[in-house]
Structure 1
Amino acid sequence: MPDYEVLQVESQTGDVVASLPVTGITYSEVLNEAGSASVAMPLDEADPATLQPAQSALVVVRDGEPVWGGPVWTTSADLAAGTLTLNASGWFSYYKACYLASVGVSGGAIPKPVLRGYKGRKDRALMIRDWLEAANDNGGIGTDVAEIFTWRKIRSREWGFSEFKNTAEAITELADEEDGFNFSFDTVWRGTDRVRNVFRHYPRLSAKFPTLTHLKNAEISRVDYDGSRLAHRAFVFGADMGTGSKPYQVAHNPINAPTLTQVATFSDLKRTSELTPKAKALALVGKRVIAMPTLTLYPEFGALSDFRPGRYGFVKASSGYVRLSDDYVITERAVSVNENGSELVSLALASKEVFQNDGA
């Protein structure tokens, strides 16, 4: 069995405060999302002076290496049971409460906030670096941006202060384009008593996981099929230009179904060129019915790192209506560890076609 430890750290600095005496661990990672973690500990062993929502973060360590990290957002004290439950979300959740609005201070005798949004035309990776560095400079969580590399994908974005653009939303919109990418906020050691969160991004479908076969090395508990997003036509509209008209783009699919149309609006995008990859992404999702298996890995599954969200691989199952024999992408990995240290790993997956890039 792997050896687990849960650390309490400072959200802003990553300094380790304590190793927590937890009685159970559950944590999940979600593709291009924050994921979550929940642990329980004895109520009388929690220090209210240092363990507080937002101020504190959790880091889950497996065999000496961090595998999950993020701020604690809520706690729940059960006085009858004598337990305290800590609920955290991944580092990315911080950026859902971070905005491209008020940054820095102006000069002069009485400094005051500089109220501004963001305006830039550059490689999309450099935009993300701008946004994360702005947060770091203004009381953020010290996200390491050293591993950001350029894609040669030039994008234009402009938001005024009054639009108060959410940083997490801005990053997700870039990732979700037709030629998008996957990203994560990973936790790594920074010395022996401090951790840091690192922003990493990588091409879709760039790493595989080993073949999974129902009742051989995994147990598939359910398969959901979703046809609600099928689209012959995918329309994407931008901002109202003040004249009653909006820029738009449309993409098409040849599918075997009654005529179906999907529509999305991005009220902060002002140019047709900015809408093109959005329309293609919406059409890509609407090409076919999406199969979404949920499964549990058998104990001898191998390396946990082989099954990170974003990896894809072959999944096989045959049971009545279910006929799986294709490539699927991991969209979520959930891990639970009981009091005895036994580990259970579950995966949620979706059809690979949804994630394929068809253009530049």
Structure 2
Amino acid sequence: MYRILFVEFVSGDVWGELPALEVNFSRVLNAPGEASVKVPLTGPAVRGLPWQALQPWRVLVYVQRGQQILWGGPLVSYAADLSSETMTLNAQGLWAYYRRRFITEDRVFLARDQALIARDLIRDFGDGTGNLVRSSGPKALTFDDTYLTGVVRDRSYWRYEWKGVGQMVEDLAQLKDGFDFRLDHFWQNGRIVNRFVFGPPTGDPTDFVLEHGANCTVSGISADGTAITTEAVVTGAGDGADQLVSSWYDLLHETDGSRRIPRLTSVQSRVDVTVPATLTAYAQQAIAEGSVPIVIPAVQLHPHAFPSVGDLQVGQLASVRAKVGDWPGHSGRFKVTEISHKVSDTGAAETRLALAPGEVFANVGSASIS
């Protein structure tokens, strides 16, 4: 049911297949995720296997079920257990590689769509498919070159700052009106393609409904108001009276009689930010994330039910419904931020979801002071 493929990172050539005793992986929105695979060291399936090829960062490991590739990323470590005659391969999601690449030349973007900025940084300084003469990389990613977010930004990256490509793309993503991203993997013309996929920060709408007792088990629901914020202050570059500061307020939350609360303030430091509008975007995001208590259901999908691990993608919005006894329960729209899948040595599969309330990605707030 599950195939474990290993592919040379640089060429993309499929080098072989491994039998799996256990499989664990996680897909994480705007982040790499990770995987571990336990394989046997003896038996016909591994006899003659080119073990010397299974070296950290030399190969990409892919998890395939049916015709779908569910996960992919570089091998980063392995451990052989001689008593049980097994080996555990540990891998990180492919995005982990781009966290290891750095911006090595000055680059200035003026009034440029943030998707174009992200693509240029990745291609020029990460993947080796850009316009730089000395551009180096595995040429492992493809993009939808027509996709634009409609949000333009000014950005300056200086060589002496040695900023990481992955971190800069993630910083762009987490701004208010930023974007989501994930890496998809699929077969095309006998090769595995790795596609960088942009998505709206509010989440991709779907008709998926996760209902407790029907197609999933909601083992618990937690509500946390620790991060509720009605005044977000973000400080930037500079010192003392010359320091940049931007604030954003949720005045309605402080005055609406149906949900009125006293002012709650949060303060962030972004010392590398020199553009006031960028500080305001961070403050807006803090207000959005702090606009409601974080209500999170713990969801485990039922095996063989719909949707399954192969149907859901991180960044999608799904409805969750759960109630029990005389408690009215909770119903709402949630964004899938992580999908964790585990297959034990008995073949039993378990899929758990990490979810974030859809409200925290909405536009919230009514005033700005910079």
Q: What TM-score does the superposition give when structure 2 sets the normalisation length?
A: 0.85
CA distance in structure 2 between the partners assigned to 1:207 and 1:29 by the alignment: 19
Residue 73 (1) aligns with residue 76 (2): yes
Residues 200-211 of structure 1 correspond to what in structure 2 (within 5 A)? 200-203=197-200, 204-211=202-209
Q: Which residue of 2 aligns with 1:222?
A: 220
CA distance in structure 2 between the partners assigned to 1:331 and 1:146 by the alignment: 21
Amino acid at match of 1:182: D
Q: Among all aligned residue pairs of Structure 1 and Structure 2, give the percentage whose two residues are the same amino acid.
A: 30
CA distance in structure 1 between the partners assigned to 2:163 and 2:41 by the alignment: 39
Amino acid at match of 2:249: H
- Report SS of the residue matched to 2:177: coil
Question: What is the deviation of 1:243?
Answer: 7.2
Residues 117-156 of structure 1 correspond to what in structure 2 (within 5 A)? 117-121=106-110, 122-134=112-124, 135-137=126-128, 138-148=135-145, 149-156=147-154
Residues 80-91 of structure 1 correspond to what in structure 2 (within 5 A)? 80-91=83-94
Q: 1:162 aligns with which of 157, 160, 163?
A: 160
Amino acid at match of 1:310: G
Deviations 1:81-119, CA, capped at 9 Å, x for gaps: 221111111111111111112xxxxxxxxxxxxxx2432
Residue 302 (1) aligns with residue 306 (2): yes
Q: 2:316 aligns with which of 303, 307, 311?
A: 311
Question: What is the deviation of 1:79?
Answer: 2.0
Amino acid at match of 1:86: L
- Report SS of the residue matched to 1:228: coil
CA distance in structure 1 between the partners assigned to 2:22 and 2:220 by the alignment: 26
- Give the conservation status (yes or no) of the 8 Å contact 1:117–1:164: no
- Report SS of the residue matched to 1:178: coil
CA distance in structure 2 between the partners assigned to 1:23 and 1:319 by the alignment: 37
- Report SS of the residue matched to 2:208: coil
Amino acid at match of 1:74: S
Q: Which residue of 2 aligns with 1:174?
A: 172
Residue 339 (1) aligns with residue 340 (2): no
Q: 1:329 aligns with which of 329, 335, 344?
A: 335
Q: Which runs of 5+ in 1 are unaligned?
A: 102-115
- Give the conservation status (yes or no) of the 8 Å contact 2:103–2:162: yes
- Report SS of the residue matched to 1:215: coil
CA distance in structure 2 between the partners assigned to 1:272 and 1:25 by the alignment: 46
- Count of aligned residue pairs for this structure pair: 341
Amino acid at match of 1:247: L
- Give the conservation status (yes or no) of the 8 Å contact 1:143–1:199: no
Residues 38-49 of structure 1 correspond to what in structure 2 (within 5 A)? 38-43=36-41, 45=46, 47-49=50-52
Deviations 1:252-276, CA, capped at 9 Å, x for gaps: 1225444321122222221112222
- Report SS of the residue matched to 2:63: strand
CA distance in structure 1 between the partners assigned to 2:85 and 2:66 by the alignment: 29
Name the CA shift for 1:209/1:29 in 2 (closer, same or farther; >3 Å).
farther
Q: Which residue of 2 aligns with 1:108?
A: none
Q: Which runs of 4+ in 1 moved over 6 A?
A: none
Aligned-residue Cα RMSD (Å) equals 2.2
Question: What is the deviation of 1:307?
Answer: 2.0
- Give the conservation status (yes or no) of the 8 Å contact 1:209–1:306: no
Name the CA shift for 1:157/1:82 in 2 (closer, same or farther; >3 Å).
same
Q: 2:235 aligns with which of 234, 237, 252?
A: 237
Question: What is the deviation of 1:358?
Answer: 5.5
Amino acid at match of 1:324: H
Q: 2:277 aligns with which of 253, 273, 278?
A: 273
- Give the conservation status (yes or no) of the 8 Å contact 2:149–2:179: no
CA distance in structure 2 between the partners assigned to 1:324 and 1:303 by the alignment: 20
Q: 1:293 aligns with which of 291, 297, 300?
A: 297
Name the CA shift for 1:12/1:225 in 2 (closer, same or farther; >3 Å).
farther
- Give the conservation status (yes or no) of the 8 Å contact 1:144–1:197: yes
- Give the conservation status (yes or no) of the 8 Å contact 1:117–1:165: no
Name the CA shift for 1:247/1:145 in 2 (closer, same or farther; >3 Å).
farther
Residue 195 (1) aligns with residue 192 (2): yes
CA distance in structure 2 between the partners assigned to 1:28 and 1:229 by the alignment: 26
- Give the conservation status (yes or no) of the 8 Å contact 1:132–1:143: no
- Report SS of the residue matched to 1:292: strand
Which range moves more in the overlay, 156-165 or 200-209?
Answer: 200-209
CA distance in structure 1 between the partners assigned to 2:207 and 2:96 by the alignment: 27
Question: What is the deviation of 1:7?
Answer: 0.4
CA distance in structure 2 between the partners assigned to 1:130 and 1:264 by the alignment: 28
Amino acid at match of 1:298: H
- Report SS of the residue matched to 1:100: coil
Question: What is the deviation of 1:219?
Answer: 0.7
Question: What is the deviation of 1:236?
Answer: 1.4
Which range moves more in the overlay, 119-128 or 301-310?
Answer: 301-310
CA distance in structure 1 between the partners assigned to 2:240 and 2:157 by the alignment: 19
Question: What is the deviation of 1:223?
Answer: 2.4
CA distance in structure 2 between the partners assigned to 1:252 and 1:129 by the alignment: 33
CA distance in structure 1 between the partners assigned to 2:267 and 2:58 by the alignment: 40
